[in-house]
Amino acid sequence: MRIIWLRVALPTAVLAIGFAAQARAQNTAAFSDRDFQAKLQYCKTCHGLSGQGFCGSSPMPRLAGQQPEYFENQLRAFIERRRENKFMYGVAHVLNPTMLPTLAAHFRDLNPKPLGGAPRDLVARGQTIYEQGIPDANVPPCRSCHGPDAKGNAVFPRLAGQLNDYIVRKLVNWDKERGQDPKNPDTSAIMAPVAHSLTDAQMAAVAAYLSYLE
């Protein structure tokens, strides 16, 4: 009886392994280049042909040069409603999950010139805040997480070249947009006390400085 069981079980196990391998292969090739290019063009409709962002009534953020890990994390945050944005939820939740790393890698490799446009007279003050923080308000130097050149690191986003209006809006609305699932906190929690401690003038200065960085 034992020999008969082995003869039956072995082919079944081989079939199971084969089906699992086939499923993995399908999962890694779950989208075509045509699908990817279509999604990419859709992204560029709002974020610019080179991912440089767009200055309009509602500023569209720069995606070019963004840290891939951060990029993917934010798309998942939109999907999971941890980050609130009605438009981006509609975009992100229909994306094929296997496409996220490819999108992230594409935008990471883009490097257009910053759009700039912020008041130049705020840049020096913004640089001081970025590099030294605001000790009296318990605001640490921005560079401690985002790097000396503001190009980010892994889960910490690139801020260099980001639209100044976009940065200000995100800081002002931090509690309304980020960390929307207290049971599932993410790295956005690190920025909450910083956003609360900055004055409008300080936000504008930091945003102006960052908007000109390449």
For 107, the token pair is 């935008």
> In which band, very low, low, confident or very high, does the pLDDT at 52 lie, cut at 50, 70 and 90?
very high
pLDDT tens sequence across 190-208: 999 999 999 999 999 999 9
Q: Which domains does the chain have, with CATH numbers?
A: 34-211 (1.10.760.10)
Asked if pLDDT for residue 214 goes beyond 60, the answer is yes
pLDDT at 29: 53
Asked if pLDDT for residue 38 goes beyond 50, the answer is yes
Asked if pLDDT for residue 86 goes beyond 60, the answer is yes
Angstrom distance (rounded) from CA 209 to CA 4: 76
pLDDT at 18: 41
Asked if pLDDT for residue 147 goes beyond 90, the answer is yes
pLDDT at 45: 94
Strand partners, 54: 60
pLDDT at 30: 83
pLDDT at 80: 95
Model pTM? 0.84
Asked if pLDDT for residue 20 goes beyond 50, the answer is no
| Cα torsion 65, 70, 76, 82: sign | negative
The mean pLDDT value of the chain amounts to 88
